[in-house]
Structure 1
Amino acid sequence: MRKRTRLMPHASAPAMVSSIRSPSDADAFYALNEEWISRLFTLQEEDRAVLGDPFGRIVDPGGDVLMAREPDSDTAVGCIALLAYPDAVFELAKMAVAPAAQGRGIGRQLIAAAIDRARTLGGTRLFLGTNTKLAPAIHLYEDAGFVRITRDRLPVADYYARADILMELK
């Protein structure tokens, strides 16, 4: 009897990751984050302020927003932010991947690109806050080398209350 093989669809090409560059990227950054935050939590005023002005609130103060784009259409399918703090400290924040693009390794690509970008910007410490509801993201962070820390080890005060897991890159 002949063995049947199941034809698997071709894996799509990896997304291209680069810095935010246009108002349409800023709109995509807002929309990608609004989707998951509103679905799982409540979009807070601080979220709206940062998401609504990524150039003024993230890029201009020395951080960056990285966008993952489909290589064939340049459509934004994911994003991640690096918020700059004094003493070369950066926060990894606002990571989102469009639901239709999840499961393709885009989150992993974004995290790796953000770590590299933080190093390029002279970062000496990289931390993040997440929530137990975001188990896939937590797994990606741990795979990238982030370890859990306690709130007293945070380099900032008055951090998001919804962040019940805090991590930093070792």
Structure 2
Amino acid sequence: MPADVSIIDFEPVHQHAFRALNYEVSYEWISRYFSAEAPDNQSLDYPQRRIVDTGGHILMAEHKGEIVGTCALVKEHDGVYELAKMAVALRAQRLGIGYALGQCILGKARQLGARSVEVLLDADMQPALALYDKLGFRPAPLRTMPYYRGDTRLVLDL
């Protein structure tokens, strides 16, 4: 991780940055091929209530005093968490921030007692697939999801 990057815990004051980063980065491909769905909007509008208060966690990446990245750990059930809402601002990509966020959120998953962490995404998202592979995720059978999009499920057993 670059020396001028800090990974910090989400606070309610970060809600705007959490939403903006996800729309700027992650939803560029959604808006091109799909549209944002109700579960997206609920998590982005109410991250404290929908993610943190239900047993999950959100991290923010700060670079040179500016919030430039985020990712969330959403509690699913019985020690299973979903890594979701990962986004790094376009201007801060290729600095190792996504990898640093991934490592930190997986550390948090271990602290929370997670048995496994999964990621649901679209196979066209090659940079994301490469990142998750580097973090140790492996392909797994697709399960029922609350989204219409997404054709790939990756899992990391902890």
For normalisation by structure 2, the TM-score amounts to 0.90
Give the residue type in structure 2 aligned to 1:26. Q
Q: Find the counterpart in structure 2 of residue 3 from structure 1.
A: none
Whether 2:2 is the aligned partner of 1:15: answer no
Q: Find the counterpart in structure 1 of residue 25 from structure 2.
A: 36
Once the two structures are superposed, residues 7-51 of structure 1 have per-residue CA deviations (whole angstroms, 9 ceiling, x without a partner) of: xxxx9634211210132x111000000112442112222111111
Equivalenced residue count is: 153
| 1:18–1:139 CA distance, 2 compared to 1 (3 A) | same
Once the two structures are superposed, residues 33-76 of structure 1 have per-residue CA deviations (whole angstroms, 9 ceiling, x without a partner) of: 01124421122221111111100000000000100011x41x11
Give the Cα separation in 1 of the matches to 2:138 and 2:115: 16
5+ residue gaps, structure 1, are 1-10
Worse overlay, 158-167 or 135-144: 158-167
Identity of aligned residues (%): 35
Give the Cα separation in 1 of the matches to 2:27 and 2:100: 24
Q: Find the counterpart in structure 1 of residue 127 from structure 2.
A: 136
Of 124, 149, 152, 2:140 maps to 149
Whether 2:71 is the aligned partner of 1:91: answer no
Give the Cα separation in 2 of the matches to 1:141 and 1:115: 11
Of 20, 45, 53, 1:52 maps to 45
Give the Cα separation in 1 of the matches to 2:95 and 2:154: 24
Contact 1:34 1:43 in 2 (8 A): no
SS at match of 2:102: helix
Contact 1:65 1:82 in 2 (8 A): yes
Give the Cα separation in 2 of the matches to 1:121 and 1:150: 25
Give the residue type in structure 1 aligned to 2:23. E
Contact 2:26 2:86 in 1 (8 A): no
